[in-house]
Structure 1
C-alpha cells in the first residue's frame, strides 16, 4: 500500500503540459508520469460536478451533484453544493476510511462535514454579499462556515492560516490551502490527501481562455506544487507516494451573455421585481455557464417555457436542446430539470430576468465571463490526468474519462474498493480502455 496525494488544478488543459513541463514542480512529476490526455468529462462541465466524479468514479446520474450551485432563483443560486451529504455514493475517502487509512482534504469541493475525512479543511466561503462587504462582518461569517465544514484538526489548521484568506478570492485561497497542506503533511502524514486549486480557472474566467495571465497562474500552481513536494520529502513519505494531478474541465471563449430568463419573464413564467430580482417563478433557466438547465415547478409549464425560448433556437443563439432523458442517456447527467440548452459558440448563459436579451460578456459572474465552461463534454479543450509514483508505467495515453480516475488512483495506491460498484475502470490494469500514444512530446 502507498500514500496518495491528489492536487487538482482547476481548468488545466492537456495543451498546458507543454507550458509546465519545464517548471520545476511539474517537471519533477511529469518526468516519471503516466499522462492520460484529453480526458472525457461530465455534463455540464462544472467544477463541482467534475470533482464529484473524480473522487468517486461515478457519473453524475449516480453521485447526485448536478451543478456547482443549488437552485435558488431569488438569490441567483448563492449557495453551492459544499456539503458531503450532497453525494449519494462512496468516494475514495470512504474506501480509504474503511481500510483504516488516515484521510485528509484541503479545499476539495463537496467535502464539508465529511465523516470519512480525518483532517478536513473543505472548500467553503461566505456567499451572502451583505456579509463579505466589510472585514468586520466577513471574519465571523468565515469562521462560521469553516466551523461547520471542518473536522476538529481541520479547524485548527484553519485557525492557524486564516490570515491568508480573502473569502473565496484567488490566489489567496490557494495560498491558504497550500499552507494548510504543508502543515497537515508535516504534522499528520496522512495516507490520502486531496487538494484543489483554482487560480488558473479564475485567470481564464477573468482574462480569457489563453490570456497572458494564464501563464502566470501556471507558475503559481507550480510553486504551490513545489511546496507540497518539499513537505512530503521532509515528512519522509515522498518516495512512497502516488502523485495525481488532474484537470477537471476545459474553457471556451465568450463574447456575449445571453439571458433566456428575460423571455421566460415576458411570457409570465417568472415574476420579477423592479430591481430585477426574482419574486416567484413557474419556469426558470439556471445558468450552467455555456449551458443551462430549465426547471419547471409544474411540468404543465414546460411547453410554454419551450415556446418562450423558441426564438433563441430559431435565431441560432441556442445550438442544442436536450431533454432530461437525452442528458441521462447520452451523458449520464443528473438533476430535476425538464431540459437543458447549450448556447451557440461565443455565448454564455446569463441569469438576468430583466433588461436586454443579449449583452457583452463581463466578469461579475464566472458563468458568463469572457471565458467559461459548462459546455458539452466534446467541446473545447480537455483536461489531463497525470499519475506518477510507485507502480506507475510512464507514457502517454488516450481514452480516459473522469470516472476512471478514482479507481485508477485507488488501485495504484492499494486502497481496497469494490470495482464492480463503480462506473469507471482502472486505467492501469491490463486490457483497460487506455490507448498508448507515441511518447514524443
Structure 2
C-alpha cells in the first residue's frame, strides 16, 4: 500500500494552546480529525515565542538563531510602527514549501507569515500590511504575492473583509482556502488563522470572546474538511492542525526604553523623536532583546547591566530574568543582542519612550491603542502551562497515536518526511510515531 502523502493542508490556528485541548476535543469538526488523528497535547514552542519566528520554525525545523527570523519586527529604534519580517528573504536556508516546489509539487499559502515574495509558492497571499501613509493593503499584497491569484480572491471574497479586523479577516481566509482547494488542488497548502490570537490579545486568555473564536475555528475547520471531501481528495490528504505558541494574561506594560532615555542612553530631538541611541529595548511582548549601538560598548553594556540588576531586585518592576546574548543564543534566540530580558507573569515589554516605566493596562487602553493588550505571548517556553498543540490525520498518518511531548522544531522535519522531502540537517527531528510509512527520514 502506498502511504506517500500526495496532498497536505497545514492549518495554523494562531495561539491554539494545550489549555484549549479539553474544549476543542468536544467540538464537532475537531472531533472529525481526532477520530483517526494522532496528536501531541504538549508542544514546546521557541524563544521568543512570537508568531513570525514560530512560523518560520514550523517550515524550517530550526530555531530562530539559525533560520534568522528572531522577532516579529525589525530593529528600527523610534519607528512608530516598525516593519515586520514579512519577506521570505528573512529566512536563511530552505523551507518546506521550497523543497515542495523543487519536487514539482504545487504550493499555496494564505496569510502564512514570512512568505512575502516567496518564489517557491505558486499561489501566494502573504501576511503583510501597509506600513507607510502612501501604501494601501491591496497594493502591498499584490506586490508581495501572486497578483492574479490575489486578484481572483479579492474579486470573489474581498467584500467579506473589514481591513485587518477579526473575525472578518479569517472569514475571508476561509473562503479563499475553500476556493483554493476546489480550484487549484495544491499539493501543499499553508493556512494561517489569527482570530483566536486577536481575541486573546484584546480580551484575555480565557475570555468569552476567545472561547467564541475557538467555536468559529471549529466551523471553519468543518468547511475545509467538507471542501476536501467535495474535491474527492480527502482520502489522499494529510490534515495538519497546529498552534504556534500559547498566551498569558497581562495587565502591566514595561517601557524599558524610558529608563534608557532618562539615563542618557537614548537621546531625542525637540519633537521627542529618537535621534541617537546607545542601548535600545526591542520588544518581543513577554520578553525583549536589548541591543547596543555605541562606540564605548563595554561602558554602555556595564551601564545597562547596572540598570537591569537594580530592576530585577524588586518583583514589582516586572523583570524576571536577565540573560546575556550568549545565553539567549543557547535558547535559540538572537545571540547578537547584548542582553535578553524575560517579563514576570502579568507583565510585557513595549518600546515606547514617552510613557512611564510601568503602565497599568485597562480594557479602555486596548480600545484606544493596539499596542496595549490583556494577554500576550513571547515568553520563555520554560514558563509553566505554556505549551502549544499539534494534531494530524489522514494519508500517511498512523492513527490514534499520542505523543506526550514534542518541540515546535520537530514539525517541519515530520511534515517533510510525510511528503517525501528533505529539509537537510535541522534542529528538530522526525516524530516517527506519527508516520505510518516513512518515505524519507530527515532532520538529525
TM over 0.5: yes
Which deviates further from its counterpart, 110-119 or 348-357? 348-357
CA–CA separation in structure 2 for the residues paired with 1:429 and 1:28: 21
Q: 1:417 aligns with which of 408, 416, 422?
A: 422
Which deviates further from its counterpart, 290-299 or 353-362? 353-362
Give CA deviations for 1:236-289 in whole Å, capped at 9, x if unaligned: 111111011111101112121111111100011112356654333221101111
Asked if 1:352 corresponds to 2:352, the answer is yes
CA–CA separation in structure 1 for the residues paired with 2:423 and 2:247: 34
Report what 2:309 is aligned to.
310
Asked if 1:72 corresponds to 2:80, the answer is no
Shift of 1:365: 6.1
Query: Gaps (5+ residues) in structure 2?
Result: 436-444
CA–CA separation in structure 1 for the residues paired with 2:380 and 2:279: 23
Report what 1:401 is aligned to.
407
Report what 2:438 is aligned to.
none
Q: Secondary structure at the match of 1:37?
A: strand
Give CA deviations for 1:375-434 in whole Å, capped at 9, x if unaligned: 01111421111111123221321221001001112222x332155x12211102599xxx
- Work out whether residues 277 and 353 of structure 1, in 8 Å CA contact, stay in contact via their aligned partners in 2: no
CA–CA separation in structure 1 for the residues paired with 2:292 and 2:47: 20
Asked if 1:157 corresponds to 2:163, the answer is no
Shift of 1:345: 2.0
- Work out whether residues 329 and 335 of structure 2, in 8 Å CA contact, stay in contact via their aligned partners in 1: no
Report what 2:440 is aligned to.
none
Shift of 1:195: 0.4
- Work out whether residues 260 and 309 of structure 1, in 8 Å CA contact, stay in contact via their aligned partners in 2: no
- Change in CA separation of 1:221 and 1:274 when aligned onto 2, cut-off 3 Å: farther
- Work out whether residues 258 and 357 of structure 1, in 8 Å CA contact, stay in contact via their aligned partners in 2: yes
Query: Gaps (5+ residues) in structure 1?
Result: 132-139, 432-441
CA–CA separation in structure 1 for the residues paired with 2:43 and 2:397: 18
Shift of 1:205: 0.7
Give RMSD over aligned pairs: 1.9
Give CA deviations for 1:189-217 in whole Å, capped at 9, x if unaligned: 00000001111011111111111111100
Report what 2:326 is aligned to.
325
CA–CA separation in structure 2 for the residues paired with 1:292 and 1:185: 39
Shift of 1:74: 2.2
Shift of 1:124: 1.1
Shift of 1:335: 5.7
- Work out whether residues 112 and 124 of structure 1, in 8 Å CA contact, stay in contact via their aligned partners in 2: yes
Give CA deviations for 1:15-55 in whole Å, capped at 9, x if unaligned: 21211222222111112111112111110110011110011
CA–CA separation in structure 2 for the residues paired with 1:274 and 1:214: 43
Shift of 1:173: 1.6
- Change in CA separation of 1:200 and 1:172 when aligned onto 2, cut-off 3 Å: same
- Work out whether residues 254 and 368 of structure 1, in 8 Å CA contact, stay in contact via their aligned partners in 2: no
Q: Secondary structure at the match of 2:70?
A: coil
Asked if 1:97 corresponds to 2:97, the answer is no
Shift of 1:152: 3.6
Report what 2:141 is aligned to.
146
Asked if 1:369 corresponds to 2:373, the answer is yes
Q: Secondary structure at the match of 2:143?
A: helix
Give the aligned length: 419
Report what 1:435 is aligned to.
none
Shift of 1:153: 3.9
CA–CA separation in structure 2 for the residues paired with 1:430 and 1:232: 21
Report what 1:49 is aligned to.
53
